[in-house]
Amino acid sequence: MSSSEPPPPGQEPPYGQQPPGGEPPYGQQPPPGPYGQQPPPGPYGQEPPYGQQPYGQMPPPPGGYDYQGGPVLGGSGRRFLARCVDFLVYLAFSCAIGFAFVGTDTDNVNFGKEWAAGAVATVLYFLYEGFMLNNNGQTLGKMATKIKVVRVADGGSVQGSPAWTRAGVFALPLIAPCIGFVFFVVNCLWHLWDQPWQQCLHDKSAHTTVIRI
């Protein structure tokens, strides 16, 4: 009987030989493919094609940027210096509003006036931050340190809702005494351990990140 002919009905094929078109004998592995390679895996557990993101993985970096060799994330140092510059803007608002609410006599000022002055200054800073980001993705501090806020999804402009959402989550919690300041500190430090895009909480809420330009 030729080895290529199937065995008569009811007769098992010789040991180690796989019946044509059937499964290998129980307990045996399928024969290797060409050059000792195993046959390709099935749909379950199969690796995604090259360049394709598996389900549930984060989307690609903004605009397809290669952070190792092209436009890079803003970095903690530049972002801190930018906030220092912008803090001077907030300080200017605070001094102007404080003078309007309290005047020059600071010896007998009640908590209500102090809180109101701080709240108005915070709202003005929110408007400053939102307007600047809506304009070109940069505050004065970010212009000075050459960084810019972009959308995470495609590296595009944050004009519109992302700009105002980011500004609101950053600035407006400061209106709430004590707990607002705690949130502000945690928010600003969040990018130190966030991966892969070093986002603060206000970045996450607006789906933005900061890059160098």
- 213 residues of the chain, pLDDT tens digit each: 555 555 555 565 555 555 555 555 555 555 554 444 554 444 444 444 444 444 334 445 544 455 445 568 999 999 999 999 999 999 998 888 888 777 666 666 677 778 888 899 999 999 999 999 999 999 999 999 999 999 998 889 999 999 999 999 999 999 998 999 999 999 999 999 999 899 999 999 999 999 998
Residue with token string 């209500």: 112
The answer to whether 139 and 84 are in contact (CB under 8 A) is no
Note the pTM of the prediction, 2 decimals: 0.66
**Residues whose CB is less than 8 angstroms from the CB of residue 172 and which lie 6 or more positions away in sequence, other chains included:** 122, 123, 126
The label of the residue with tokens 């803090």 reads 87
pLDDT at 151 (0 to 100): 94
Q: How far is CA 210 from CA 23, 46, 135, 189, in A?
A: 56, 35, 15, 14
In whole angstroms, give the CA distance from residue 12 to residue 166.
Answer: 72
Cis peptide before 62 (omega within 30 of 0): no
Query: Which among 192, 197, 86 has a CA at the least distance from the CA of 132?
Result: 86
Cα dihedral sign, 66-72-76-80? negative
Q: Within 10 Å of residue 86's Cβ, how many Cβ atoms?
A: 20
CB neighbour list of residue 211: distance below 8 Å, 6 or more residues apart: 62, 65, 71, 72, 73, 74, 147, 148, 150, 155
Q: What share of the chain is helix, strand, coil (3-state, %, to 5)?
A: 45, 5, 50
| C-beta separation of 53 from 178 below 8 A | no
